[in-house]
Structure 1
Amino acid sequence: MVPSACSFSSQMSLKVNRIWHFKQHCDRSGFSIRGFTNSQIARSVFTLGTAAVLPFYTLMVLAPKTELTRKTMESTIPYFVLGLLYAYLLYLSWTPDTIRLMFASKYWLPELCSIGKMFSSEMTLASAWIHLLAVDLFAARQVYQDGLENEIEIRHSVSLCLLFCPVGIVTHMFTKLLSKNRRNTE
């Protein structure tokens, strides 16, 4: 038997309320970082996350073929650390309205105005930034590894992945295509 949308909504609401009450209990019992406001935490993690990815991009751009860069880019540690930071900020930004704002339409799809309301919180915005940093670094690593494997210049594409990841990926695809065509004509 398929549950109705109404019963699904009730179940989700109950789960959200349980998470919210657990979060409130943890906050009262000192689980969060004492002495820091949510704004201070969000700003600190934003800065920490931004600074943490820069050495990886620097290595891929300035020394792409060195053994240090190859070994560093094989590591999963940056994704683990960014994942923990993201999970912590997500936890701190969670409210009973989070699910309702994310899936505001009758089709359970996000709506732009609701997502905008969510991102009006510094904590939610900081968590989204950490999410982007992790995904962008992962994509840059894929571009880097593909470039090494196919002997393609990747510095420009990796650089673009830092702030404009989809553009960096497209640039890499064009570079790969142009390199392949050039090799075929030689």
Structure 2
Amino acid sequence: MTSSQIASTAFTLGTVAVLPFYTLMVFVPKSTLAKRVMESNIPFASLAILYGCLVYLSWTPSTLTLLFASKYWLPELPGISKMFASEMTLASAWIHFLVVDLYAARQVFVDGLKNKVETRHLVILCLLSCPFGIVTHLITKEMMKIAKGPR
């Protein structure tokens, strides 16, 4: 397989791999299966292995130079842009996003179950834009507290 084919396959595999977990959290959130699966670390470990392989395959002698191009050893946009010109690096970044988004969605999901807060819309937001999902969860949780009133 060529580098491009590996990157494309990993991209598709990672994208498809997270869908069952989101499906459980959105369509059957109170099921025993959803709770058991989302409490597991297997989805994250599997995706982390895929991510690690892609990082390994995308690593070049210039990776650190591109990543820490400034005199302050901080990333700069031109270096990051050059680094992400590689399909393998892009695929690894996509898997990174998928893992982080799924992890955040799981945290929102588990917290919602614990605090009896509806999370279906929040889980979808975590999939689409993780920061919005987290912020919306915090707002929803506070609104639910206010709606319930003092005890």
Q: TM-score, normalised by structure 2?
A: 0.98
Q: Is 1:64 aligned to 2:29, yes or no?
A: yes
Partner of 2:109: 144
Question: How far does residue 185 in structure 1 lie from its aligned partner after superposition?
Answer: 6.0
CA distance in 1, matches of 2:52, 2:133: 26
In structure 2, the residue matched to 1:114 is: 79
Supply the distance in 1 between the matched residues of 2:93 and 2:134 (Cα, whole angstroms): 20
Give distance in 2, aligned partners of 1:184 and 1:40. Answer: 56
Greater relative contact order, per chain length (Cα 8 Å cut-off, separation 6+)? 2
Which of the pair has more CA radius of gyration?
Answer: 1
Q: Secondary structure at the match of 2:100?
A: helix
Match of residue 83 from structure 1: 48
Q: Distance in 1 between matches of 2:127 and 2:24?
A: 13
The answer for unaligned runs of 5 or more in structure 1 is: 1-35
2:34 matched to 1:38? no
Matched positions, count: 151
- Spell out, residue by residue over 1:100-154, the C-alpha distance to the aligned partner (whole angstroms, 9 max, x if none): 0000000000001110111110000000000110111000000000000000010
When the two structures are superposed, what TM-score results if normalisation uses the length of structure 1?
0.80
Offset at residue 163 of structure 1 (A): 2.0
Identity of aligned residues (%): 64
Q: Match of 2:96? A: 131
Structure 1 segments (4+ residues) deviating >3 Å: none
Mapped pair 1:94 → 2:65? no
1:40 counterpart letter in structure 2: Q
Q: 1:103 aligns with which of 68, 77, 102?
A: 68
CA distance in 1, matches of 2:20, 2:138: 24
Q: Which runs of 5+ in 2 are unaligned?
A: none
CA distance in 2, matches of 1:64, 1:113: 43
1:157 aligned to which of 106, 122, 136: 122
Residue aligning to 1:54: 19
